[in-house]
Amino acid sequence: MASDHSATAHSPTTHGHADAHAHHDAHGHDAHDVSKSVRKYMIIFGALLIGTIVTVLASYIDFGNASYNIAVALFIAIVKGSLVAGYFMHLIDERKLIYGVLGATVFFFAGLMYLTLWSMEPTSLIHIKH
């Protein structure tokens, strides 16, 4: 009677199938999920390639002022950097705290860029001599 209990409890077909099913549920990686992820990464890669082409084309356009040219280049770089950080570094799935830190970084970077451009103007306070 004990052998009947052990044979049904540890049957290779039911135990192996249960392990495979539990392993699938724990990680969620089947062929459909992987192909969906690869497709998403290829779309982001294509967007980054298009962004690079737009960056090169925008470098040949004179927007009338060096500040405008720099602003356009920084905007394109921010979009491309956001794609890389969001999808390849998986920040799109993270908590709001990380977005807050990222937002603060962008804010201070923009402030430093503004100060740099402002200091290059001949009428800024730095260039006024007494």
Residue 45 lies in a domain: yes
Q: For residues 72 and 55, is the Cβ–Cβ distance under 8 A? A: no
How many structural domains compose the chain? Answer: 1
Report the SS3 class of residue 130: coil
For residue 52, the Cα-to-chain-centroid distance in whole angstroms is: 16
Q: Tell me whether residue 86 is in a domain.
A: yes
Q: pLDDT digit string (tens) for 37-67?
A: 899 999 999 999 999 999 999 999 999 988 8
Specify if 46 maps to a domain. Answer: yes
Whole domain around residue 83: which residue ranges? 29-93
Q: Each residue of 68-87: pLDDT tens digit?
A: 999 999 999 999 998 998 88
Q: What is the C-alpha to C-alpha distance for residues 27 and 130, in angstroms, rounded to an integer?
A: 69
pLDDT band at 6 (very low <50, low <70, confident <90, very high): very low
Q: What's the CA gap between 82 and 95, in Å, rounded?
A: 16
8 found inside a domain: no
| Structure-token pair, residue 34 | 């992987």
User: Is-contact 44 87, C-beta < 8 A?
Assistant: yes
CA distances for 81 relative to 24, 47, 91, 92, 102, angstroms: 33, 11, 12, 13, 11
Higher pLDDT, 58 or 27: 58
pLDDT in tens, 89-114: 887 777 777 778 888 999 999 999 98
